[in-house]
Chain A
Amino acid sequence: MAIDRKKIINELSGLQVRGDDQGLIPAYGVLVQRIPVSFWNGFSKAILDAAGDDVGDAAEGLLENAAAECGYHTGHGIITSEEFQAVVSPMVEKEPEDILHGAYGVLTAWGWANAEITELIPDEKMVIRACDYYEHDMGPTKRPFAFMIRGVSRAFMDLAYGDPYPNGFGRFKCEQTRGIEVGDEYGEFVVTRA
């Protein structure tokens, strides 16, 4: 595996991203924004607190699905972007596994999480370890809170092993097995077939 994670982070964490003269950021095939993480965390906590035990599972599922769709569409935009082609693609020896490793370098450079793949069985299973991620800022919580990483991780597996974009969404699921927000040393996410 020739992916140089440090080089990816160094080169892509410094990209200048800001609104154009319309105040919009069209990039990676989507419109992006870069707002405080307290918004994403705050709404997730507020809606889960309001849901309580009765509909909490359903609310968690919707939060995770929002991230999965984000990860699927934006992830496709990332791996087909000029930046990815310039920085990551020259390192790719084995597809799609090296692309997946590279995508976690990009995810880290974007500030979503300091996360990388620790186990990958092609088309079957992927384990992610995240030693930091903004969602754990809401901790301590009773239950794992990293819906964004869960959703994005299964979406990345869909992009790697599902039908060609945009028809491959939903083949995988993700379980968060450890979380800093629940007292673990790091977050762990296990993606398997749905």
Chain B
Amino acid sequence: MPDVASTKRYASHNSTVKFKVREEFDKNRMRHYVNGEVSVMHCHHYATLFTQLALDASLLNGTDHLIRTSFEAFHAPLIRYYEVENVKNIADRLAIAEQYFSFVGLGAIRFACNDRSAVVVMEYSHVDEGWLSRWGRRDSRVNYIGEGYIKAACAAAFDLTNPDDIKVVEAESIVCGAPRSRFDVQW
């Protein structure tokens, strides 16, 4: 994404930091830990059916819950990682967030940020491609889990605390036929 990133102040291509992974399996409780976080393998059917449930539950603000839950699930591990590894540089934090996203199988994401805004591009997306595989193309977005992740990454990188202060607009979506998803972010 050099065309967008080159116009921004913070981007991962200014970083050489590598995401460090510590994987453990607790044989007493049978739990997997990724950098201390209990993590579990699930499939795209599960992720897309949770998303469909959220969409169906519009009267219960289902997608808002999905976004916030995703924010909370990823913000804490990112913050903890930056503390443990002493990652203070914003470009480095964004690079870690990109690599963590890919490590867990959510796709390929790139952040390009100024102090109060960002353009985020997903070349590949577990949620979109899972949805396409299961149900095919649709005319509106589905990647609320990704939106939560973007909020978490921006908040963690810029030391923001309230996800409601971060506004995300998914301007292009793989699930709608775009070659990549693009999110415009402001805080």
Work out how many contacts link A and B, with CB atoms closer than 8 A. Answer: 179
Do A34 and B49 touch (CB < 8 A)? Answer: no
Do B53 and A47 touch (CB < 8 A)? Answer: yes
Which one of A42, A51, A69, A108 lies within 8 Å of B72 (CB-CB)? A42
> Interface digits, B117-147 against A, CB 8 Å rule (1 contact, 0 not)?
0000001101001100100000000000100
B63 CB, nearest partner CB in chain A, Å: 11
A156 CB, nearest partner CB in chain B, Å: 14
Which one of B45, B107, B123 lies within 8 Å of A69 (CB-CB)? B45
A149 CB, nearest partner CB in chain B, Å: 12
> Interface digits, A71-105 against B, CB 8 Å rule (1 contact, 0 not)?
00110010000000000000000000000000000
B84 within 8 A of A: no
Q: Which residue of B lies closest to A132 (CB)?
A: B29
B102 CB, nearest partner CB in chain A, Å: 3
Chain A residues in 8 Å Cβ range of B45:
30, 66, 69-70, 73-74
Chain A residues in 8 Å Cβ range of B25:
13-14, 111
Chain A residues in 8 Å Cβ range of B76:
38
Q: Which residue of B lies closest to A77 (CB)?
A: B43
> Would A34 and B41 be within 8 Å (CB), given that A19-B102, A46-B65, A50-B65 are in contact?
yes
Q: What is the CA–CA distance of A77 and B38 in the complex, to the nearest angstrom?
A: 24
Q: What is the CA–CA distance of A114 and B54 in the complex, to the nearest angstrom?
A: 29
A31-52 contacts to B, CB under 8 A, are 31-40, 42-43, 46-47, 50-51
B174 CB, nearest partner CB in chain A, Å: 12
Do B102 and A23 touch (CB < 8 A)? Answer: yes
B37-52 contacts to A, CB under 8 A, are 37-47, 49-50
Interface residue count for B (Cβ, 8 Å)? 54
Which one of B27, B30, B50, B123 lies within 8 Å of A66 (CB-CB)? B50
B84-124 contacts to A, CB under 8 A, are 101-109, 123-124
Do B53 and A66 touch (CB < 8 A)? Answer: yes
Q: Which residue of B lies closest to A39 (CB)?
A: B73
Interface residues on chain A, size class: 35 or more
B50-67 contacts to A, CB under 8 A, are 50, 53-54, 56-57, 60-62, 65-66
Chain A residues in 8 Å Cβ range of B40:
34-35, 37, 40, 110-112, 134
Do B106 and A35 touch (CB < 8 A)? Answer: yes
A28 CB, nearest partner CB in chain B, Å: 7
B8 within 8 A of A: no
> Would A111 and B106 be within 8 Å (CB), given that A24-B129, A42-B73 are in contact?
no
Do B108 and A23 touch (CB < 8 A)? Answer: yes
- Report which residue of B38, B105, B126, B133 has the largest number of chain A beta carbons within 10 angstroms of its beta carbon: B105
Do A33 and B57 touch (CB < 8 A)? Answer: no
Chain B residues in 8 Å Cβ range of A110:
32, 40-41
A114 CB, nearest partner CB in chain B, Å: 4
Which one of A33, A50, A66, A111 lies within 8 Å of B60 (CB-CB)? A50
Do A43 and B105 touch (CB < 8 A)? Answer: no
Do A33 and B32 touch (CB < 8 A)? Answer: no
Nearest 5 Cβ contacts at the A-B interface: A23-B102, A66-B49, A39-B73, A33-B105, A25-B105
Interface residues of B (CB under 8 A from A): 21, 25, 27, 29-32, 34, 37-47, 49-50, 53-54, 56-57, 60-62, 65-66, 68-70, 72-74, 76-77, 101-109, 123-124, 126, 129-130, 133, 145
Interface residues of A (CB under 8 A from B): 9, 13-14, 17-19, 22-25, 28, 30-40, 42-43, 46-47, 50-51, 55, 59, 62-63, 65-67, 69-70, 73-74, 77, 108-114, 132, 134, 137
